[in-house]
Structure 1
Amino acid sequence: MAEQDIFPYLQPTAATPAAALPVMRECAWDFVRDAPVLRGGVPVIVLREQAVAVWAWNALHTERFRWPCFSAGYGNEANALIGQSYQPETKRAEVQRYIEECLLACPYISAVTGMTVEAAGDRLTVSFSIISIYGEIKMEVEQDVG
C-alpha cells in the first residue's frame, strides 16, 4: 500500500497555474449602494481585476456558513466576534485572519498585503491590498465587532 493511500491529506496540492484559469467574470457592482449594476435590466459584466474586486467585496460582505447557496469556503466569519469579550488587539488580529482566509479561498488571489485595522468604537475599518493574477487591487471594508 502506498503512503498516499494511508495519508491522502498529506499529499501536496499544486496551486492552479494562472494560465489554466479562465478569465474571471462577475456582474459589475455598485459598492456605494451595495447592489449589482444593471443596464436595461441586464447585468453589466466586468472582467479580470474588476471581477476580482467584485468577488472579494461580495465574499467579505457574506456571512460564512449562513447561506446554503454558497460553499463552505465562501464568506467572512468576522460576525463571530460580535458580542465576544476579546481585547481590542485580539479582535483586530482575528478580523485580519478572517479577511485573509476569506480572500485566499479565491484561486485568482495569491496574497493579501499591507493590512491596517483602525478602530472607532465597535467598528473596524480595514484597508489592504489584494495581489491577484491580474495585479494589485486596493480595498477598504468596515467590520462591526460590537
Structure 2
Amino acid sequence: MSIFPTETINVSDLIQATVIASADLPLAKEYAWDFDRNDFLLVNGKNVIVMGKEAVKVWIWKALHTPKNRYRAYSSSYGNELGSLIGQGLSVSALRSELERYLKESLLINTYITGVKNIDISIDGSKMDVGFTVTTTYGEENINV
C-alpha cells in the first residue's frame, strides 16, 4: 500500500474545467455613460443600454472610479484601491508597480476581461495618467484614465 494516489490527475484539465468559455457568457450590457459629463447618457430623458465591448468599457470606467468597499451597492471585489497609494511616499518605480497591480486586480475580476497589457503610466507631480490595452471577449480596446 502506498500513500501516493494510484490515478494520474491532469491539472490542466482541472483548471480548464473552472474557466468559463466566452460562448457561455451572456451578452455584456450596461447603461450608457457620458464620460465627459460623468453621468448616465440619456436620450429623450431615458437611459440608453450599450452592449458588448461598449458595455465592458463602461464597466471599466466605473470600476476605476469607484473605491473598493465604500458602497454597499457593490460587491467587496468591485472597484479599486488606487486611493490607498496617495501619500504613501513610494518611489516612482514602486508607485508604478503598485498602480499596475491594483489596475489588474480591479479589472480582471470581470469575466469579459481576459487581460490587461501595454500599461503606460505617466506621473507629473501629483497628477497621474494611465493608458493600457484591455483584452476582452469582444476584442482589444485602448483605455486612458
TM-score bin, normalised by smaller chain: 0.7 to 0.9
Shift of 1:39: 1.2
2:38 to 31, 34, 37: 34
Residue 88 of structure 2: aligned partner: 84
Give the TM-score of the pair, scaled to structure 2.
0.87
Q: Which runs of 5+ in 1 are unaligned?
A: 1-10, 142-146
Give the TM-score of the pair, scaled to structure 1.
0.86
**Which letter does structure 1 place at the counterpart of 2:22?**
A
Structure 1 runs (4+) greater than 4 angstroms displaced? none
Shift of 1:37: 0.2
Residue 5 of structure 2: aligned partner: none
1:120 equivalent in alignment to 2:124: yes
Query: CA RMSD for the aligned pairs?
Result: 1.4
Shift of 1:83: 1.3
Residue 136 of structure 2: aligned partner: 132
Residue 144 of structure 1: aligned partner: none
State the number of aligned residues. Answer: 132
Shift of 1:68: 1.2
Shift of 1:34: 1.2
Distance in 2 between residues matched to 1:110 and 1:64, nearest whole Å: 21
Residue 8 of structure 1: aligned partner: none
Identity over aligned pairs, percent:
38
Distance in 2 between residues matched to 1:105 and 1:113, nearest whole Å: 15
Query: What does 1:14-25 correspond to in 2, within 5 Å?
Result: 14-25=18-29
Shift of 1:123: 1.7
Higher relative CO (Cα under 8 Å, sequence separation at least 6) belongs to: 1
Distance in 2 between residues matched to 1:102 and 1:77, nearest whole Å: 8
Distance in 2 between residues matched to 1:102 and 1:15, nearest whole Å: 19
1:60 equivalent in alignment to 2:64: yes
